[in-house]
Amino acid sequence: MIYLIISIVFLAATALCLADGTRRGFNVLTLNLVFRMTSGILGLVVLLSCVPLKDIPAAWSQVGGMAVAGGVCFWISGLAALQAVRTGHLGVTWTAKRCAMVIPTVASVVLWKEIPLWPVSNLLLLRLGGVGLIVTVAVLLAMDRLHPHPEDQSKSASSGWVAWLVTCVLTYGVYGIILRASASIQGEATRGAFMATVFVTAMILSCIAWAICRPVCGRGELIAGSVAGIAGFIGSGIRPWALRDLPGIVVFPVTAASVMVLVQLGGEFLHGHRLSLWGRLGIAVAIAAIFMLTLNA
């Protein structure tokens, strides 16, 4: 459970740091590139420290393809999330991203059979009820967007925001499935190599994008991206260990609900995204969902 708690705290810190950068007008592409490159450098250090050079080919044969696919989805989802935050509402954007957890959560039940679907058990109903509540949270926060608080300073939704949001949700959902698959990795060194390769893949994509687009990197992007990269490296990097100790049907929804609450509260206090009654009700439902998902875990 400790790995899950640490992951949640640092993932929320990453989201708020990146969102703050976009609200300050930093270049979104540059911010994402610095963010991914910082995580990639840390990942490369971990990779070289976890796996001796002579053992890298063997580790690659076990987790290389899966890690590269995860790194690609990881990079795309991050860029799409930042673009969505830039063009829309912080709380709703990050809430929708976290609700992508429905994809790996369903996969955990259907593909990995973490809880038998038949006969129907109380535990299955409890877990599915918690997942359903998190979806309800997304609906409530969408209502908050339709009927915003008079003091809300965020932008209205646009077609560009919707496009980036859909891209973010789909790629983040696929990334979650890949993370769940990593729970079967044998050996701590190989597990570390998997996650490090995810970060390194995202870093390579960032370097390619940097060479093509040549964005200007100011002091603000460098600081915000580096801080987010460190927090993201910790928050995302230890998720395979959380999935090693807990089932995906607990890890993904609890992470989603907890980060939603923390980001919503952070958006309210830091960015003036005042929540209406709908938004506050959404946070209350999220807390109830966390309780249902962790009961008897």
DSSP 259-282: HHHHHHHHHHHHH-----HHHHHH
- Measured distance CA(243)–CA(41) in Å, rounded: 24
Range of the domain at 50: 2-294
pLDDT beyond 90 at 177: yes
pLDDT beyond 90 at 6: yes
Task: Please state the pTM of the whole predicted model.
Answer: 0.85
Q: At what angle do helices 90-98 and 159-181 cross, to 10 degrees?
A: 30
Count of the separate structural domains present in the chain: 1
pLDDT beyond 60 at 225: yes
Residue 225 CB partners (closer than 8 Å, separation 6+):
21, 30, 31, 32, 33, 34, 35, 37, 38
pLDDT tens-digit map of 74-93:
999 988 887 887 777 666 67
On average, the pLDDT of the chain sits at 85
CB-based burial, 167-201: b 16+ in 10 Å, e otherwise: bbbbbbbbbbbbbbbbbebeeebbbbbbbbbbbbb
- CA 24 centroid distance within chain: 22
